[in-house]
Chains A and B, each alone.
Chain A
Amino acid sequence: MRHDLAELSRVTPVRVMAVDAVSLEQRAAALAGRSLKREAKLGALDLAIRCTDYTTLEGADTPGRIVQLCAKAVRPDPSDHSIPSVAAVCVYPEMVPTAVGCLKGTSIGIASVAGAFPAGLGPLSARLEEIRWVVEQGATEVDMVLNRGAFLSGHYGVAFDEIAASKDASGAAHLKVILETGELGPYDQVRKASMLAMAAGADFIKTSTGKIGTSATLPVALCMAESIRDFAEQTGQAIGLKVAGGIRTAKQSWQYLVVIQETLGVEWMHPDRFRIGASSLLNELLLQLRTQQTGRYQSLDSFTDG
């Protein structure tokens, strides 16, 4: 035990504190109960769209699928040109070249998962090579996974070093580190993993791969937001938060925005510091936006497939 903690403090010179689960969950529930002004709802929906990493990560993905995805990423609602583009698309490595072609001339980011996603348990050299390859192909963002095997067995140095090496391999692309919070256990661990990832060089910490049963939850997001706040206070560095998986409704998206605002403040209410990884959520956001604007409930059929 002492060996692991010493190793942890070697690699994360930042102070890592404990988290009380009961109190954290109560705070998240209280924040979820905030109600927004109508204008604020419109602003929140618009922001949520602008913060979306529009994602497809299926074995059945084809270039044709990517073309469709990118078109919607640029113009989420062909009938309403006031709707902004999303922040980025998120795809598998093989699909990066197609995405690059579709999104030329736009400022939409191209995020690729890389590094033996989602388990992350391949040979390190191959994982780093995958990262270098996607960046060469034009990816502007890399979503890697934390090595949970190393982390959960207490080999924090190994986990740290892999992230640092991945950051190197990413070059100019920004690096998101997926913690896969559903596998980490208590919030104490989420906090520890967050601090470790940030200290090792992550530009964003991300909740989930979306590939296991448990994805983003409001308490986990709150825990990670508190970690980011603490890291910022201790080092002066502002790291972003990405919530992914399980966010399907507009209401959920603005609950996450409330958590961000109340914990990190208004500077984080921007796609440079907050992302939502989602696919079906985009149409939900569009539907809610049109409902708020017209005062009429909408049908999903009014919106295009992406």
Chain B
Amino acid sequence: MDLEPVKLQYATSRESTDIVHLEKSYGLFIDGKMVEPRSGAMFTSVNPATEEPLTQVAEAGSDDVDLAVAAARRAYEHGWRDLPGKERAKYVFRIARLLQERAREFAVLETIDGGKPIKESRDVDIPLAAAHFFYYAGWADKLGYAFPGRRPKPIGVAGQIIPWNFPLLMAAWKLAPALASGNTVVLKPAETTPLTALLLTEVLRDADLPPGVVNVLTGDGVAGAALVNHPGVDKIAFTGSTDVGKEIQRALAGTGKRLTLELGGKAANIVFEDAALDQAVEGVVNGIFFNQGHVCCAGSRLLLQEPIAEAFLDKLRSRMATLRVGDPLDKNTDVGAINSRQQLDKISSLVDAGVEEGAEMYQAPCPLPERGFWFRPTILTGVTPAHRVAQEEIFGPVLSVLTFRTPEEAVAKANNTRYGLSAGVWTEKGSKILWMADRLRAGVVWENTFNRFDPASPFGGFRESGFGREGGVQGLAPYLALEAIDA
């Protein structure tokens, strides 16, 4: 070898933020207009990759919640509920199309508000969000076919509280089925990621959606609690932590309000010795490092069959060494910023606990930017079911690794959790993969793949990962009252 090998450097292929026009401040979207919050309270939204403030956002209080619920009720009773399905459909189709028109703008905004790589917001979040609206628009005038023997009717006013990990996508998951089935909505985006929901209100106005059909209240847990407890709300849909989900379920006891919950998870990603191992490595990497591991259905526990455990970990470590953590606006970035300082602290402390309990840690040897909230992709090996890091949801780019010998053992370990949201299985043997799918207690089982989402595919958990489904015909049920049709 007389010549030196050549190393290719990737360009910092930075997406421009010119396409985004942020106002100095944003109000609450109530009854079709932006209004000041009653209390006048505002809070700052920050870019977690740079710690720079982006804009001021209104903090809704219970007075604002009253106004929004009243607006939603008026809109429901004086128009939306009785609008023929095919007209409702057209509104929702409009929203889908407008989202597609402004896709780049939404993607960039999502990245700077939440820290996720532009590659993900552009290729996953925004297209899926548009697809959800498009999908449910198609159901709006076909509800009679959705539930045999039942005449579906909307429920009324839905209060929807969404998290910060997929802000626009979660808004789409909530709004699309609710609107298509004839309900009106008060939506409360997460405190740290309000901006794409606020931009969405522009789309709603452009779509000429009647005032009050969708109301958006930015704010924190106070606004969320006020919405949950409001007597004028008929249904609550919540995506977030299991602890808060339980509080909400408790608060709704005896009220007769409908409820769906999409909570946390601690999914097992199970790799058998007869898996397509190189692709399983990709699936495992995607399963826990996609969106910085801020994913309720993340494959956060890797279960390796003993014969291939060491070889697999070697491949995994080599692959992790190629991960690029950094500027989320760079198209070459694989892993973006942690959403907030609080989340970063929580991840760090759980990882420290894991190491203290005896796990061995490996972290991707990548450079990190100076400012912003960052955590290197991490694996913890030598983890047993008794470790905290095997039981508690970390919600970060941290993978706990355990081993197993037989399929029964894999199932037992995978199911040994209070959660039940998702699971992954990697094997080339067909009968075994179906056997596993049958026994894994999870609402979504990804086989030889991971983190796949589609509006036609119902998503949701078992046990303490929540109840109710989003996506598919099954995703309509939470927003409908099913009247019996007399035989």
Contact = CB atoms under 8 A, between A and B. Distances in A.
Interface of A: 17-20, 22-24, 26-27, 33-40, 43-44, 46-47, 50, 226, 230, 233, 254, 257-258, 261-262, 266-272
Contact of A24 (B5, B7, B279): B279
The SS class assigned to the B binding surface is loop
B282 A40 contact: no
A198 to B, nearest CB: 16
A262 B7 contact: no
Contact of A17 (B8, B119, B277, B449): B277
A154 to B, nearest CB: 18
Given A20-B276, A23-B276, A270 B11 contact: no
25 contacts: A17-B278, A18-B274, A18-B275, A18-B276, A19-B276, A19-B279, A22-B449, A23-B276, A23-B279, A23-B283, A24-B279, A34-B10, A34-B332, A35-B10, A35-B13, A35-B331, A40-B10, A43-B8, A44-B8, A233-B311, A266-B6, A269-B5, A269-B6, A269-B7, A270-B1
Contacts of B119: 33
A262 B322 contact: yes
B448 interface: yes
The SS class assigned to the A binding surface is helix
Given A27-B282, A35-B332, A233-B314, A266 B7 contact: yes
B3 interface: yes
Nearest to A260: B8
Q: Say which size band chain B's interface belongs to.
A: 20 to 34
B357 interface: no
B16 interface: no
Given A23-B276, A36-B9, A46-B6, 12 more contacts: A17-B276, A17-B277, A18-B275, A20-B276, A20-B448, A23-B282, A34-B10, A34-B332, A43-B6, A43-B8, A262-B322, A272-B1
B306 interface: no
A269 B8 contact: yes
Most chain A CB atoms below 10 A, which of B6, B13, B332: B6
Contacts of B13: 35
* Interface pairs A-B: 8 shortest CB-CB: A23-B279, A20-B279, A37-B11, A35-B13, A18-B276, A20-B276, A18-B428, A269-B5
Most chain B CB atoms below 10 A, which of A20, A36, A40: A20
Contacts of B332: 34-35
A261 B8 contact: yes
Contacts of B1: 270, 272
A270 B5 contact: yes
Contacts of A233: 311, 314
Interface string B423-442: 00000100000000000000
Contacts of A268: 5
A33 B119 CA distance: 10
Interface string B305-341: 0000001001000000010000000011000000000
Contacts of A27: 279, 282
A160 B282 CA distance: 31
Most chain A CB atoms below 10 A, which of B11, B283, B331, B448: B11
Contacts of A23: 276, 279, 282-283, 448-449
A261 B275 contact: no
Contact of B11 (A20, A35, A257, A272): A35
A30 to B, nearest CB: 8
B329 to A, nearest CB: 13
A73 B282 CA distance: 39
Contact of B3 (A35, A230, A270): A270
A32 to B, nearest CB: 12
Contacts of B279: 19-20, 23-24, 27
A267 B283 CA distance: 26
Contacts of A46: 6
B8 A40 contact: yes
A37 B14 CA distance: 11
Nearest to B427: A18
Interface string B1-43: 1010111111111000000000000000000000000000000
Contacts of B448: 20, 22-23
A261 B8 CA distance: 8
Nearest to A107: B2
A19 B278 contact: yes
Contact of B6 (A34, A47, A262): A47
B8 A257 contact: yes
Contacts of A19: 276, 278-279
Interface string B265-284: 00000000011111110110
Contacts of B5: 266-270
Contacts of B11: 35-38, 40
Nearest to B450: A23
Most chain A CB atoms below 10 A, which of B8, B9, B277, B282: B8
Contacts of A50: 3
Contacts of B274: 18
Contacts of A22: 448-449
A26 B283 CA distance: 11
Contacts of A34: 10, 332
A22 B282 CA distance: 11
A36 B11 CA distance: 5
A271 B2 CA distance: 10
Contacts of A262: 322
Nearest to A37: B11
A220 B280 CA distance: 17
Nearest to A27: B282
Contacts of B277: 17
B9 A37 contact: yes
A49 B3 CA distance: 14
A44 B6 contact: yes
A162 B227 CA distance: 75
A210 B9 CA distance: 31
A196 B342 CA distance: 53
A29 to B, nearest CB: 10
B223 to A, nearest CB: 39
Contacts of A37: 9-12
A117 B95 CA distance: 59
B326 to A, nearest CB: 14
B436 to A, nearest CB: 16
Contacts of B9: 36-37, 39-40
Nearest to A84: B3
